[in-house]
Amino acid sequence: MDLEELKRECLDCSRCGLCQTRSNVVFGVGAPDAEVMFIGEGPGEQEDLQGEPFVGRAGKLLDDMLELIDLDRSKIYIANMVKCRPPKNRDPLPEEQSACSPWLERQIALIRPKMIVCLGRIAAMRYIREDFKISREHGQWTVKNGIMTMAIMHPAALLRDPRRRPEAFEDLKVLQQAIRDYCTHTYD
Ligand code: URA
């Protein structure tokens, strides 16, 4: 099984009710052998329409954040906790997250990233620890399932509260240093 086969399977998914309201499954994009993987929360309106993660306003900011540390979508992999848009962009329900998480687990198992960066509270609480406090713990590395993992603030949160951008920039520099220390692909 490779990532393309997994994607084909995922595009047919009907494991939860979100399949009834989605326009597209948003499986993920990027390098199948990425050393760095980003995990967002779930598709919004534009992502649902285009079938690609982070293509709306928050996605534009994510691209700018990546560029600050010499990354772009071709060098990393971006996926979401849930692959289908929750109606009106509500938080994904626990049962939707549980139904969807095997897709993400299989993506991680195939890509085998060296590091995972959760974008925002929802992804961090699901993927790192249920009681993860993004305001206190962002930018700190932890090891999860043998993979270096951290959470940074979600770009949508940074759009809502630009005063937090300097902290996010510090976190990106922590990520950049780890890439220099542990990754072997070329990043500049
Ligand atoms: N927010 C997310 O968490 N994921 C997307 O794909 C878009 C916005």
What local confidence, expressed as pLDDT, does residue 186 receive? Answer: 85
In whole angstroms, give the CA distance from residue 77 to residue 94.
Answer: 24
Q: Is residue 44 within 6 Å of ligand 1 at its C-beta?
A: yes
Look up residue 144 and give its two tokens.
Answer: 């999860």
| Per-residue confidence in pLDDT tens, the chain, 188 aa | 899 999 999 999 999 999 999 999 999 999 999 999 999 999 999 999 999 999 999 999 999 999 999 999 999 999 999 999 999 999 999 999 999 999 999 999 999 999 999 999 999 999 999 999 999 999 999 999 999 999 999 999 999 999 999 999 999 999 999 999 999 998 87
Q: For 99-147, what is each residue's pLDDT tens digit?
A: 999 999 999 999 999 999 999 999 999 999 999 999 999 999 999 999 9
Q: Is the CB of 54 under 6 A from ligand 1?
A: yes
Residues pairing with 40 in the sheet: 80
| Secondary structure (DSSP) of 65-118 | HHHHTT--TTTSEEEESSSSPPGGGPPPPHHHHHHHHHHHHHHHHHH--SEEEE
Pocket test for ligand 1, best of 24, 27, 39, 47 (most atoms within 8 A of CB): 47
- pLDDT attached to residue 57: 96
Tell me, using a 6 A CB cutoff, whether residue 96 lines ligand 1.
no
Nearest CA residue ID for atom 6, ligand 1: 53
The verdict on the CB of residue 97 being under 6 Å from ligand 1 is no
**120 within 8 A of 154, measured Cβ to Cβ:** yes
In this prediction, residue 188 carries a pLDDT of 74
For residue 91, the CA-to-ligand 1 centroid distance in Å is: 11
Nearest ligand 1 atom, CA 122: 3
d(CA 40, CA 146): 20
Whole-angstrom distance between the N-terminal and C-terminal Cα of the chain? 31
Is-contact 117 152, C-beta < 8 A?
yes
